[in-house]
A and B are shown apart, each in its own frame.
Chain A
Amino acid sequence: MAMAALRREGRRLAPLISPRTITAVRSSPLYPTLEDEGPLGVRHISTQVVRNRMKSVKNIQKITKAMKMVAASKLRAIQTKTENSRGLWQPFTALLGDLPSADVKKNVVVTISSDKGLCGGINSTSVKISKGLHKLNSGPEKETKYVILGEKAKAQLVRDSKKDIELIITELQKNPLNYTQVSVLADEILKNVEYDALRIVFNKFQSVVSFVPTVSTVLSTEIVEREAESGGKLGDLDSYEVEGGETKGEILQNLAEFQFSCTMFNAVLENACSEQGARMSAMDSSSRNAGDMLDRLTLTYNRTRQASITTELIEIISGASALEG
């Protein structure tokens, strides 16, 4: 009995020891006949492939778990920042309103996306919304251009809207996001792009699992004045008194510039926050999937092993009983 057990051990170890089996397994798609030969006396199915697969799945699970942790801690830091930054655009919206329906000639769609992937569908949503806005605002005598933030939207928009791209800005998140950085960036956009209306597309952070694709509109001074003359919410602007020696146009220009940089700051933060949230939930589900896969593989592996052990036992017993009988 002891000899039998030893032989069984030896057989199971054989695929590990003998280099011939390993090459046989590796080159099995090319030389399927080699598999049949196998090491001496081995007749059970090789479990090497399953074992390797299990190992790699386990490693992937470790990685996704670690990424989830990292995303969770980054999210916590950026979430407070984002919630605080909402106070920056709210007064502007209260004063100037948000006019997404303003019909102007030169439209600029500012698409905000992330530089890194593995964060669910937030980038493709903002690209989709941007394309929709582009279609909505294009027509005769009108033009719509893209300003793209982030590698991911760039990769998607370069494919079919090459001609309409005006500016691409990347590597935004090397340092933690701050207002100075975003305002310098907004300044670059203002200097390099001619616009009547800037439409900023981003994912607004609601909770770790829900992000709302959002458009905020920043109008240029002329358009604000035009809209103010035609009444509506902007018509109230006339009731404000202007202090100092400045004209209303100057004030409005300063205000529009500042509004753009504030809105951009909030948008970039909201999008970064959504990115971390989306990455967290994506990594959570992928580690769960890896766990499920591992369970299934383990089951298959154990079943195969048990089957080969049972076969061997049957052989031994029947051999012994043949000798006795």
Chain B
Amino acid sequence: MASNAAVPFWRAAGMTYITYSNICANLVRNCLKEPYKTDALSREKVHFSISKWTDGKPEKPSFCSVFIRSLHLPDMVANL
């Protein structure tokens, strides 16, 4: 199992298990054939707005709307 040896590496890259498993899921989804691929990829749309509060005051809200694809996947795969 490759994943066993990989754990320290993605931890060191500042990833949590969730990010790691999402990237793996994205890789698997990309292996699908059309038309199932577009269908599956549409299930990983991410959109929400997040704002951090400190001492009762909001900081500027940021919109989180990423596709996992944009997470520099090639670099991460190279790291594995």
Contact = CB atoms under 8 A, between A and B. Distances in A.
A165 interface: yes
A257 B49 CA distance: 21
A131 B17 CA distance: 31
B61 to A, nearest CB: 8
Nearest to B29: A180
Contacts of A185: 48, 50, 64
Contacts, number: 88
Contacts of B43: 178-180
B34 interface: no
A246 B7 contact: yes
B57 to A, nearest CB: 8
B4 A181 contact: no
A266 to B, nearest CB: 15
A187 B52 CA distance: 14
Interface in B31-56: 43-53, 55-56
B53 A166 contact: yes
A36 interface: no
A170 interface: yes
Sorting the interface of chain A by its residue count into under 10, 10 to 19, 20 to 34 or 35 or more gives 35 or more
B66 interface: yes
B18 interface: yes
B78 interface: no
B17 A184 contact: no
A191 B5 CA distance: 24
Contacts of A165: 53, 56
Interface string A165-201: 1111111101100111101111110111000000000
Interface in A228-259: 243-246, 250, 253-254, 257-258
Contacts of A179: 43
Nearest to B26: A180
A168 B53 contact: yes
The CB with the most chain A CB atoms within 10 A, among B18, B48, B68, is that of B18
A162 B52 contact: no
Nearest to B1: A244
B52 A192 contact: yes
Interface of B: 1, 4-5, 7, 11, 16-19, 21-22, 25, 43-53, 55-56, 58, 61, 63-64, 66, 68
8 contacts: A167-B50, A167-B51, A170-B48, A180-B25, A183-B21, A184-B22, A185-B48, A257-B18
